[in-house]
């Protein structure tokens, strides 16, 4: 990210990054968040094969969000405030099915992990 020390970013989570065990392992703390929505996207499901991610999340079935461009489609989730280090830790957690993108939520810009393929 290249941000100055102490800078934060907004990260939209609609899945396992909202779970306390995942947050404690990846970020070393539990994050507070606010409900938000991502317009023009829909939630789907993906099967995770990384055994470490499955063990930490407790499931191999994870939600995944895909861009549709249809304003009637919305993905619900939580916007979290994270440090640059925590955002990097989230990058490590997410598998190759996801890519981090900057999007416009109902409340403003945030990072989100979207499907690598639509």
Question: pLDDT tens digits, residue range 14-33?
Answer: 999 999 999 999 999 999 89
Confidence class for position 2, pLDDT limits 50, 70, 90 = very low
Virtual torsion, Cα 30, 21, 103, 81, nearest 10 deg: 10
- Contact between 65 and 112 under an 8 Å Cβ cutoff? The reply is yes
Q: Which residues have CB under 8 Å from 3's CB, separation 6+?
A: 9, 84
Name the token pair of 91.
Answer: 């990058």
Name the token pair of 61.
Answer: 């079935």
Question: What's the average model confidence in pLDDT over 96-106?
Answer: 96
To which H or E segment does residue 33 belong? strand 33-39
Does residue 43 surpass a pLDDT of 70?
yes
Question: What's the average model confidence in pLDDT over 47-69?
Answer: 94
Say what angle helices 20-27 and 84-93 make with each other, to 10 degrees: 120
Q: What is the mean pLDDT of the chain?
A: 93
pLDDT of residue 6: 72
pLDDT of residue 117: 82
pLDDT of residue 118: 65
Question: What are the helix and strand counts (H, E) for the chain?
Answer: 3, 7
Does residue 100 surpass a pLDDT of 80?
yes
Q: Within a 10 A sphere around the Cβ of 74, how many other Cβ atoms?
A: 18
> pLDDT per residue over 70-97, tens digit each?
999 999 999 999 999 999 999 999 999 9
pLDDT of residue 88: 96
């Amino acid at each position: 990210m290249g941000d100055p020390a102490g800078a934060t970013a907004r990260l939209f989570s609609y899945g396992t990054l909202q779970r306390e065990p995942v947050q404690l392992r990846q970020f070393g703390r539990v994050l507070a968040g606010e409900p938000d929505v991502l317009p023009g996207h829909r939630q789907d499901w993906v099967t995770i094969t990384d055994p470490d991610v499955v063990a930490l999340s407790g499931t191999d079935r994870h939600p995944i969000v895909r861009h549709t461009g249809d304003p009637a489609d919305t993905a619900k989730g939580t916007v979290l405030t994270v440090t640059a280090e925590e955002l990097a830790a989230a990058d490590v957690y997410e598998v190759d099915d996801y890519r981090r993108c900057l999007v416009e939520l109902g409340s403003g810009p945030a990072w989100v992990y979207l499907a690598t393929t639509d």
